[in-house]
A and B are shown apart, each in its own frame.
Chain A
Amino acid sequence: MNEPSIQAVGLTKRFGSFTALDSLNLNVEGSKCVGFLGPNGAGKTTTLKLFTDLIRPSSGEALVNGVNVHTRKKKALESVGTLIETPEIYPSLTPREALTMVAETRGVPAAERKKRIEDVVTEVRMDEWVDKRVGKFSKGMKQRINIAAALLSDPRIFLLDEPTTGLDPRGMSEVRDIVKSLKGKQRLIFMSSHLLSEVTDICDEVAMIDHGKLLVYDTLSNVTSRFSGGENIVEVGFLRPLDGGVNGRIASGVPGVTSAERVDDRTLRIRFNGGASTQERLLSNLVGMNLGVISYKPASSALEDVYLNLIKDTK
């Protein structure tokens, strides 16, 4: 089976004299999570709406698995789970009924429907509410049902527009876990977000857009290193509180490291030059120092720096 893919070819959307999306060329292929970033009005939601045929392109094409979404929507979206804005569900339906409607529309086999609905409802922690009418639900509860609807047919591609919008911190965390688990199941996730920490936490690649133009599309580590003068930033978490001199020991004793700042008594933000091999050496050195390393991840502030620089440049 071919790798799942979404592709924008010269994709342009104009609303009167305003160009919301300007000749977007983007090819995302394979099993990964791509964070789609940009300020308000940059063209993120417009792009996702074009990929779901909620709006028509002024020119260019939106392709899913090589199929044009506008001219062959049924074929193009057959293996795509979507969450665009915060959809409303017919208020007098229960989540079970709304999800059955989605399952029947998408052709989930009758014998599997009940089980799958129960699975996705459990996944989004809405078991207790599955037979209550949606009309009285909060925005966050509706968003959970919308996420369940996107998961229901177990598609290969997910197009998610700020999926954690309206959720409480626990809900946000749960959705991130869901997205992470999808990555493990060989899915392609294309997700817009305002939350840089969220993208850093769960995405492998990042695409940035502003004024309808694509600014960059690359792996997270390449983007952060390419736009920060080759410098990478990682946040390292430790099991035990760190002693006062550890920053200096890391900064001076580990090759490539330019600085090590203390974020709190168990977290360091380490800046270093170099690519994957330097990272490997850094991590192995840190482990070798017996400091009790328990986490190691690219710092969201690095992405934030890149984001702010790129967005500033396009103003």
Chain B
Amino acid sequence: MIALSSTQAESANRVPSSLTQVRVTMKYTFLDYFRSRRFFILLAIVLLISSALTIVIGYYRPPGLLSSDLSFYSSWWGISAVLLTALFGIFFGGDAISGEFQNKTGYFSLSHPVRRSSVYIGKWLAAFLASSIILVVFTAVTLGNGVYYFGLSLPYQFGEAVLFTWFYLVAVLGSTFFFSSLFKTSSYAILVTAVLFLFAFNLIQLLVASFAQLEPWFILTYGSQIIGNVLSTQYPPHVTTVRFGPEGRALTAYNATIPEGLVIIAAYFIVTAILGLVLFERKEFT
């Protein structure tokens, strides 16, 4: 048995600051993620996509894609980065909070002198770190291929696209943590996150722009367009209207400007982070 007297124990233990407790939660949640199957599945997906692109481009040498460094990075990064970021959110954020309730790990992590906000933020940071490691791998493979075909001169737009992707990752994880806080069942949280980020947001965005002819400024994926658009030779116009059919019906397409995209992404993060935190603070372990 531990041989401290009650007085000694009292004086020896000083509950650390909330910031330290955030770091502790982040450290051990990250360790859990790092050893988990989901981390390796995501890594495998990234390596699979990277390998497929490397082989296909190396074998077929598509002239359009290799016509300039910008079109190369646009095709490679612009297409994959948003999808991968959504997968990071689903894999690391989907059950991050709901799992604490469903798996009862919250009884272990929260029945100590620690604020729930410290655990929430620590888990968010762990998810961000785990996602970032995989994103670094994808960035490295992209750069490796880019340097092979176009040498060391990187277009500054690629740097912007990478930065925007990380920024988008922040918002995606903020949103997925919010949805995770809504539910106590992990499968619901993961399903809702997956449906929203893989289908629903894009569908709503398309319907709102095409048929209601409204700018879908309230959809996160609309803001994420800046990741691909910044890699275009010429940044696409904010509004494009195409007329079609005998009656000349108008079909409107919107492209978020860079400031607009950044504001949408930031707003999503801020709003969902606050709501998610409030939900987690109020949710009960029943």
Instruction: Answer yes or no: are A and B bound together in one complex.
Output: yes
Give the chain B neighbours of A82 by CB distance below 8 A. 111-112
Give the chain B neighbours of A89 by CB distance below 8 A. 105, 108
Measured CA separation A76–B114 after assembly (Å) = 10
Measured CA separation A217–B108 after assembly (Å) = 29
Which of A86, A106, A146, A149 meets B13, CB within 8 Å?
A106
B2 at the interface (CB under 8 A from A): yes
Which of B10, B36, B105, B111 meets A156, CB within 8 Å?
B10
Distance in Å: Cβ of A59 to nearest Cβ of chain B? 15
- The residue in chain B whose Cβ has the minimal distance to the Cβ of A181 is B1
Contact between B6 and A186, CB atoms less than 8 A apart: yes
Contact between A107 and B16, CB atoms less than 8 A apart: yes
Contact between A74 and B13, CB atoms less than 8 A apart: no
Taking CB atoms and an 8 Å cut-off, the chain A residues in 70-110 that contact chain B are: 73-80, 82-93, 97-98, 101-102, 104-109
B113 at the interface (CB under 8 A from A): yes
Given A85-B107, A87-B107, A90-B105; A55-B15 close (CB under 8 Å): no
What string of 1s and 0s marks CB contacts (under 8 Å) between B19-39 and chain A? 011001101110110011000
What string of 1s and 0s marks CB contacts (under 8 Å) between A19-58 and chain B? 0000000000000000000000000000001001111100
Measured CA separation A87–B105 after assembly (Å) = 6
Give the chain A neighbours of B115 by CB distance below 8 A. 73-74
Measured CA separation A250–B223 after assembly (Å) = 89
Measured CA separation A86–B105 after assembly (Å) = 9
Contact between B10 and A1, CB atoms less than 8 A apart: yes
Distance in Å: Cβ of A14 to nearest Cβ of chain B? 12
- The residue in chain B whose Cβ has the minimal distance to the Cβ of A75 is B113
B152 at the interface (CB under 8 A from A): no
Measured CA separation A102–B10 after assembly (Å) = 16
Distance in Å: Cβ of B8 to nearest Cβ of chain A? 8
Give the chain A neighbours of B25 by CB distance below 8 A. 101, 105
Instruction: Please report the number of residue pairs spanning A and B whose Cβ atoms sit closer than 8 angstroms.
Output: 139
Contact between B111 and A52, CB atoms less than 8 A apart: yes
- The residue in chain A whose Cβ has the minimal distance to the Cβ of B4 is A154
A116 at the interface (CB under 8 A from B): yes
Given A120-B2, A181-B1; A56-B284 close (CB under 8 Å): yes
Given A90-B32, A107-B15, A156-B6; A73-B113 close (CB under 8 Å): yes
Contact between B104 and A88, CB atoms less than 8 A apart: yes
Given A56-B284, A154-B9; A87-B104 close (CB under 8 Å): yes
Contact between A74 and B114, CB atoms less than 8 A apart: yes
Taking CB atoms and an 8 Å cut-off, the chain A residues in 157-198 that contact chain B are: 178, 181, 185-187
Contact between A55 and B284, CB atoms less than 8 A apart: yes
Give the chain B neighbours of A149 by CB distance below 8 A. 108
- The residue in chain A whose Cβ has the minimal distance to the Cβ of B35 is A92
- The residue in chain B whose Cβ has the minimal distance to the Cβ of A74 is B113
Highest count of chain A CB atoms <10 Å: which of B10, B14, B15, B20: B15
A243 at the interface (CB under 8 A from B): no
Measured CA separation A15–B103 after assembly (Å) = 22
Give the chain A neighbours of B284 by CB distance below 8 A. 49, 54-56
Given A149-B108, A154-B2, A181-B1; A54-B14 close (CB under 8 Å): no
Determine the main DSSP class of A at the interface with B.
Answer: loop
Taking CB atoms and an 8 Å cut-off, the chain A residues in 191-214 that contact chain B are: none
B67 at the interface (CB under 8 A from A): no
A221 at the interface (CB under 8 A from B): no
- The residue in chain A whose Cβ has the minimal distance to the Cβ of B282 is A56
Measured CA separation A98–B32 after assembly (Å) = 10
Given A98-B108, A186-B6; A104-B24 close (CB under 8 Å): yes
Contact between B10 and A74, CB atoms less than 8 A apart: no
B110 at the interface (CB under 8 A from A): yes
Contact between B36 and A92, CB atoms less than 8 A apart: yes
Contact between B111 and A55, CB atoms less than 8 A apart: no
Which of A1, A73, A77, A88 meets B107, CB within 8 Å?
A88
- The residue in chain B whose Cβ has the minimal distance to the Cβ of A89 is B108
Give the chain A neighbours of B114 by CB distance below 8 A. 73-74, 105
Measured CA separation A7–B112 after assembly (Å) = 18
Distance in Å: Cβ of B102 to nearest Cβ of chain A? 10
A/B interface sample: 30 pairs, CB < 8 A: A1-B10, A52-B110, A53-B110, A55-B286, A56-B282, A74-B15, A74-B18, A74-B113, A77-B111, A79-B10, A79-B13, A85-B104, A87-B104, A89-B108, A90-B29, A92-B31, A92-B32, A101-B24, A101-B27, A104-B16, A104-B20, A105-B21, A107-B16, A116-B2, A123-B2, A154-B2, A154-B13, A156-B6, A178-B1, A187-B6
Give me 9 other A-B pairs in contact (C-beta within 8 A), A77-B113, A80-B113, A105-B114 excluded. Answer: A15-B286, A74-B15, A85-B107, A87-B106, A90-B108, A101-B27, A108-B13, A149-B108, A154-B4
Residues on B lying within 8 angstroms of A by beta carbon are 1-2, 4-7, 9-10, 12-16, 18, 20-21, 24-25, 27-29, 31-32, 35-36, 103-108, 110-115, 282, 284-286
6 shortest interchain CB distances as A-B pairs: A87-B107, A87-B108, A154-B9, A92-B35, A54-B285, A77-B113
